């Protein structure tokens, strides 16, 4: 879709890609440039999993547990879709309806070298790990609820999978292009991550210290 046909978001206070202009310069040398965003990127989805696993310890009411888990899932979905993806990795996906009533999905990515060089690699790694691992947990919960015949919990798990999978799908499409098949995009993503991890290990400086107690050998 041509960029000229895509309208601006009504609540787009800061244009997409210009978020760095609002960044605090004093955090330029810190390990995490968006510490609060990084924290809440993991907090809401982690809290939903923890509440689901241990809600029976504090309450026997399914309705109470259901409401709290859905609230955290909703907060996580909104935070990841509208804030953390944009600030941590320079990606954004959204939807709009044109004048003819046709719904359009927009997948945006700031792929310029100047912008990518400003992305914090630690935050980028945390973003993708949180985005991928949490749906895996909910997938395990789905199997446990299915084989345990806990159908009321199965409904809650399906809601969690839908919300988590929507963000995962959207950001993979953003990262690898809206026109690319999801299976090939996911394969490329896994290959890229494995290659990056291998390169990090190979290029990591050695911490071994040279021996200090070795005496030179020679003829006395």
Q: Cα(89)–Cα(208) distance, rounded to whole angstroms?
A: 34
Residue 93 is assigned to a structural domain of this protein = yes
Closest CA to 109 of 132, 92, 130, 95: 92
Instruction: Compute, in degrees rounded to 10, the torsion defined by CA atoms 57, 58, 63, 68.
Output: -100
pLDDT at 27: 54
Residue 94 is assigned to a structural domain of this protein = yes
Calculate the alpha carbon distances from 41 to 1, 44, 139 in Å. 30, 7, 20
Residue 15 is assigned to a structural domain of this protein = no
Residue 156 is assigned to a structural domain of this protein = yes
pLDDT at 23: 55
pLDDT at 106: 87
pLDDT at 170: 93
Give residue 149's domain range: 28-187
pLDDT at 153: 92
Q: Domain count of the chain?
A: 1
- Taking the chain (220 residues) in runs of 10, the rounded mean pLDDT of each run is 48 55 54 87 95 86 93 96 90 86 86 69 92 95 92 93 95 76 56 62 56 47
pLDDT at 138: 96
Residue 12 is assigned to a structural domain of this protein = no
Helix/strand/coil (H/E/C) assignment for every residue in the chain: CCHHHCCCCCCCCCCCCCHHHHCCHHHCCCCCCCHHHHHHHHHHHHHHHHHHHHHHHHCCCHHHHHHHHHHHHHHHHHHHHHHHHHHHCCEEEEEEECCCCCEEEEEEECCCHHHHCCCCHHHHHHHHHHHHHHHHHHHHHHHHHHHCCCHHHHHHHHHHHHHHHHHHHHHHHHHHCCCCCHHHHHHHHHHHHHHHHHHHHHHCCCCCCCCCCCCCCCCC
pLDDT at 175: 86
Residue 201 is assigned to a structural domain of this protein = no
Residue 132 is assigned to a structural domain of this protein = yes
Supply φ then ψ for residue 51, to 5 degrees.
-65, -40
Residue 32 is assigned to a structural domain of this protein = yes
Tokens of 169: 């799908």
pLDDT at 2: 41
């Amino acid at each position: 879709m041509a960029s000229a046909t895509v309208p601006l978001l009504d609540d787009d206070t800061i244009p997409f890609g210009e978020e760095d202009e609002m960044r605090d310069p004093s955090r330029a040398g810190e390990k995490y440039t968006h510490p609060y965003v990084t924290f809440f990127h993991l907090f809401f989805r982690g809290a939903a999993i923890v509440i689901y696993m241990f809600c029976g310890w504090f309450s026997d009411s399914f309705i109470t547990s259901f409401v709290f888990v859905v609230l955290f899932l909703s907060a996580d979905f909104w935070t990841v879709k509208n804030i953390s993806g944009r600030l941590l990795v320079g990606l954004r996906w959204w939807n709009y309806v044109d004048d003819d009533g046709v719904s359009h999905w927009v997948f945006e990515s700031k792929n310029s070298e100047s912008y990518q060089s400003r992305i914090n690699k630690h935050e980028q790694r945390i973003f993708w790990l949180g985005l991928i691992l949490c749906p895996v947990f909910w997938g395990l919960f789905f199997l446990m609820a299915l084989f345990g015949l806990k159908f009321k919990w199965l409904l809650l798990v399906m809601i969690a999978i839908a919300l988590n999978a929507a963000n995962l799908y959207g950001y993979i499409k953003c990262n690898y292009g809206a026109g690319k098949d999801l299976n090939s995009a996911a394969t490329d993503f896994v290959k890229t991550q494995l290659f990056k991890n291998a390169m990090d290990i190979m290029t990591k400086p050695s911490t071994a210290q040279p021996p200090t107690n070795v005496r030179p050998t020679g003829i006395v």
